[in-house]
């Protein structure tokens, strides 16, 4: 009998140390604690431990930002730690691609294990840009691990970031590579390591959607040959047995994000003398919470110096805020948090209009001295700043699309302002994603809460009182995610074809938006966060009551 134990991390987003560099506090979970668990499991002689990662480690905490863009003359902190932990294989995530060629190409060379993505192929040759799969051998058992990445990257990221790469449909790629692996490798076990979620209906997609963003469950159902599939990308926990089209059971696991869980799958195999193959006796799986583990001293001894370097970096003071601001307010109306981003974008680009969203759900920047760490609260992602040309009608349609998923169509003052769904336990959660709640600045406008979708946005004029015309073209400051079609605002809302978006771009920044915002704040020295008061929702009484109700539902606040 041979026992294989697969331990898989996913969507770590820089949660390496048991410390949050942004909030300046100890965390409940981290890769450092996962290392403790992995080392404990390796002590058992009756099992073979295989350690895997499922992508999106290079974006999130300042520790990876620092290694991505500042300490570029040194080995990347992620390759140092992953090699130290003896990872056996990994799959590339979309946020790993987001760092750009210089970063992820460097990691390909630095990792002591293969970084996989069979469906990310060279545009010219159609050969995989990353390794498509890897073969491991443990006590005579031959294990094939196939890596796939969500193919939606061109909808979100500028082409420069993924230049030279095509992203193929995951189901098509899975069929192709499983067939090839079986024919050429004849493995005993096939593992799918997919940076792609489980809910294939997400964002109005269907099982038939070509290049579905979240195709892990579809592959488990439609592509025979896999024994286990590890999913990721969706920041959810999943543990299910899926029956494929041949009637075979496939274990599907997903460990959520930020090192809160690891997915653990155990396969027991026996060698069949007649077939000369190892055959499965039992397969079990679980998602194991990591907050019970302590960080080993050896981990801190090895990487503690770099941790202190990054702590010093994020503790650097850059300016003074005369008022506090928080992202929670931005869910309900015109607020200082998002308007600070608007102010920067309009000032830097000199565009006529700005689009921006809250990228943090519930965080606060205090009054007084602000630090580098606060910039990661204000702007969570490494988007670039674009300037685009849009017509007045496209701007209106963009806003109609944004508020359709943001504000509920209220029928009376007792309705909630925000649009909610109810989960299986009766709890409320937002129907739309808060980072898609995009408002505008540079124009004065009103949201009519009682009107039908598509007729809710009334643009009055520009803030300088100039007339706003639907058939006239304007310059718009916007982040690169949105400008490339992310969220659907320009494609589904403004009805611009994806292939036409690039021709609308007038200018692109060299720096990411967080760095631009930090430079702007630092140059000011003293900043007063304030709402620009250029848009409002009406009827006002409905908005006030709906906001209070939504606050209680979303944050479980008492009526008092």
CATH number of the structural domain spanning residue 163? 3.60.21.10
Same domain, 252 and 105: yes
Same domain, 86 and 149: yes
Residue 560 inside a domain? The answer is no
- Tokens 């926990």 found at: 237
In this predicted model, what pLDDT tens digit does every residue of 209-229 receive, in sequence order?
Answer: 999 999 999 999 999 999 999
Residue 323 to residue 335: CA distance in whole angstroms: 12
Residue 359 to residue 545: CA distance in whole angstroms: 25
Same domain, 294 and 385: no
Pairing of strands 420-422, 317-321: unpaired
Q: What is the pLDDT of residue 424?
A: 67
Determine what percent of the chain is predicted with pLDDT higher than 70: 99
Q: Which of 258, 281, 310 is the last residue of a domain?
A: 310
* Closest among 468, 36, 96 to 262, alpha carbons compared: 36
Same domain, 174 and 141: yes
Same domain, 499 and 542: yes
Residue 21 inside a domain? The answer is yes
DSSP 8-state assignment for residue 20: B
Bridge partners of 527, per DSSP, are 321
Q: What is the pLDDT of residue 276?
A: 85
Q: What is the pLDDT of residue 428?
A: 74
Handedness of CA 461, 467, 472, 475 (dihedral sign): negative
Same domain, 430 and 508: yes
Same domain, 326 and 300: no
Task: Give the tokens for residue 199.
Answer: 């809910």
In this predicted model, what pLDDT tens digit does every residue of 433-470 receive, in sequence order?
Answer: 999 999 999 999 999 999 998 899 999 999 999 999 99
> Pseudo-torsion of CA 539, 542, 545, 551, nearest 10°?
-90
Q: What is the pLDDT of residue 461?
A: 98
In this predicted model, what pLDDT tens digit does every residue of 95-129 receive, in sequence order?
Answer: 999 999 999 999 999 999 999 999 999 999 999 99
Q: What is the pLDDT of residue 427?
A: 72
Task: Give the tokens for residue 4.
Answer: 């294989």
Same domain, 120 and 152: yes
In this predicted model, what pLDDT tens digit does every residue of 267-325 receive, in sequence order?
Answer: 999 999 888 889 999 999 999 999 999 998 999 999 999 999 999 999 999 999 999 99
Average the pLDDT over 9-25 and give the result.
Answer: 97
Same domain, 111 and 258: yes
Residue 441 inside a domain? The answer is yes
Residue 391 to residue 404: CA distance in whole angstroms: 20
Q: What is the pLDDT of residue 507?
A: 97
Same domain, 287 and 418: no
Average the pLDDT over 497-516 and give the result.
Answer: 96
DSSP 8-state assignment for residue 487: G
Residue 88 has pLDDT above 50, yes or no: yes
How does 22-56 read in b/e, with b if 16+ C-beta sit within 10 Å? Answer: beeeebebbbbbbbbbbbeeeeeeebbbbbbbbbb
Residue 340 inside a domain? The answer is yes
Q: Sorting pLDDT into bands at 50, 70 and 90, what band is 559?
A: very low
Q: Which residues contact residue 304 at a Cβ distance below 8 angstroms, ignoring those fewer than 6 apart? A: none
- Assign residue 373 the CATH number of its domain: 3.90.780.10
Whether 97 and 50 have beta carbons less than 8 Å apart is answered as no
Residue 454 inside a domain? The answer is yes
User: Up-side HSE of residue 477: CA atoms within 13 Å toward CB?
Assistant: 24
Bridge partners of 328, per DSSP, are none
Whether 550 and 449 have beta carbons less than 8 Å apart is answered as no
Bridge partners of 387, per DSSP, are 477, 507
* Cis peptide preceding 326, ω within 30 of 0: no
Q: Which of 293, 310, 327 is the last residue of a domain?
A: 310
Residue 101 inside a domain? The answer is yes
Domain that holds residue 325: 317-555
Here the contacts of 100-105 (C-beta below 8 Å, separation 24 or greater) are 100/160, 100/161, 101/161, 101/163, 102/72, 103/58, 103/68, 103/69, 103/76, 104/58
Residue 187 inside a domain? The answer is yes
Same domain, 83 and 199: yes
In this predicted model, what pLDDT tens digit does every residue of 171-198 receive, in sequence order?
Answer: 999 999 999 999 999 999 999 999 999 9
Q: How far is CA 88 from CA 91, 308, 371, 474, in A?
A: 11, 28, 38, 52
Residue 210 inside a domain? The answer is yes
Task: Report the SS3 class of residue 49.
Answer: strand
Q: Which of 310, 340, 370 is the last residue of a domain?
A: 310
Q: What is the pLDDT of residue 172?
A: 98
Same domain, 275 and 331: no
Residue 557 has pLDDT above 60, yes or no: no
Report the number of distinct structural domains present in the chain.
2
Residue 558 has pLDDT above 50, yes or no: no
Residue 545 to residue 560: CA distance in whole angstroms: 14
Q: Which residues contact residue 486 at a Cβ distance below 8 angstroms, ignoring those fewer than 6 apart? A: 155, 156
* Mean pLDDT, all residues of the chain: 96
DSSP 8-state assignment for residue 489: I
Largest CA distance in the chain: 85
């Amino acid at each position: 009998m041979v026992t294989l134990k697969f331990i898989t991390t996913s969507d770590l987003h820089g949660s390496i140390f048991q410390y949050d560099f942004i909030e300046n506090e100890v965390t409940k979970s981290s890769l450092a604690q996962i290392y403790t668990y992995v080392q404990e499991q390796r002590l058992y002689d009756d099992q073979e431990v295989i350690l895997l990662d499922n992508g999106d480690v290079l974006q999130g905490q300042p520790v990876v930002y620092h290694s991505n863009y500042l300490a570029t003359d040194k080995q990347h902190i992620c390759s140092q730690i992953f090699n130290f932990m003896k990872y056996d294989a990994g799959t590339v995530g979309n946020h790993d691609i987001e760092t750009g060629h210089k970063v992820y190409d460097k990691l390909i060379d630095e990792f002591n294990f293969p970084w996989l993505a069979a469906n990310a192929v060279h545009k010219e040759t159609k050969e995989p840009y990353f390794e498509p799969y890897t073969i491991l051998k443990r006590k005579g058992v031959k294990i094939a691990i196939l890596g796939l990445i969500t193919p939606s990257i061109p909808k979100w990221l500028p082409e420069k970031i993924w230049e030279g790469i095509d992203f193929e449909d995951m189901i098509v790629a899975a069929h192709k590579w499983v067939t090839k692996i079986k024919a050429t490798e004849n493995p005993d076990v096939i593992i799918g390591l997919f940076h792609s979620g489980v809910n294939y209906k997400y964002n109005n997609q269907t099982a038939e959607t070509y290049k579905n963003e979240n195709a892990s469950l579809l592959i488990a159902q439609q592509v025979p040959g896999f024994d286990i599939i590890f999913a990721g990308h969706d920041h959810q926990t999943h543990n299910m047995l899926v029956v494929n089209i041949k009637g075979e059971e496939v274990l599907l696991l997903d460990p959520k994000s930020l090192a809160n869980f690891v997915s653990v799958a155990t396969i027991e195999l026996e060698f069949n003398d007649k077939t000369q193959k190892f055959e499965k006796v039992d397969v079990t799986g679980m998602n194991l919470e990591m907050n019970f583990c302590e960080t080993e001293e050896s981990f801190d001894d090895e990487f503690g110096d770099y941790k202190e370097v990054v702590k010093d970096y994020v503790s650097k003071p850059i300016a003074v805020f005369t008022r506090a601001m928080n992202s929670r307010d931005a869910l309900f109306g015109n607020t200082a948090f998002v308007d600070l981003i608007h102010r920067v974008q309009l000032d830097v680009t000199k565009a006529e209009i700005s689009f921006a969203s809250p990228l943090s759900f519930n965080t606060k920047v205090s009054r007084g001295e602000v630090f580098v760490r606060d910039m990661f609260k204000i702007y969570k992602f490494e988007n670039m700043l674009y300037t685009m040309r849009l017509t007045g009608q496209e701007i209106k349609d963009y806003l109609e699309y944004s508020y359709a998923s943001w504000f509920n169509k209220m029928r009376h003052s007792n309705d909630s302002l925000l649009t909610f769904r109810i989960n299986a336990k009766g709890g409320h959660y937002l129907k739309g994603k808060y980072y898609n709640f995009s408002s505008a600045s540079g124009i004065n406008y009103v949201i009519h809460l009682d009107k039908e979708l598509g007729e809710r946005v009334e643009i009055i004029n520009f803030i300088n009182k100039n007339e706003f015309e639907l058939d006239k073209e304007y310059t718009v400051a916007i982040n690169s995610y949105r400008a490339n079609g992310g969220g659907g605002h320009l494609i589904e809302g403004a009805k611009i074809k994806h292939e036409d978006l690039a021709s609308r771009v007038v200018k692109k920044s060299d720096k990411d938006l967080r760095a631009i915002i930090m430079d702007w704040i630092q140059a000011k020295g003293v900043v007063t966060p304030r709402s620009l008061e250029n848009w409002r929702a009406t009827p006002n009484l409905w908005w006030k009551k709906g906001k209070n109700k939504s606050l209680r539902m979303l944050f479980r606040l008492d009526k008092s």
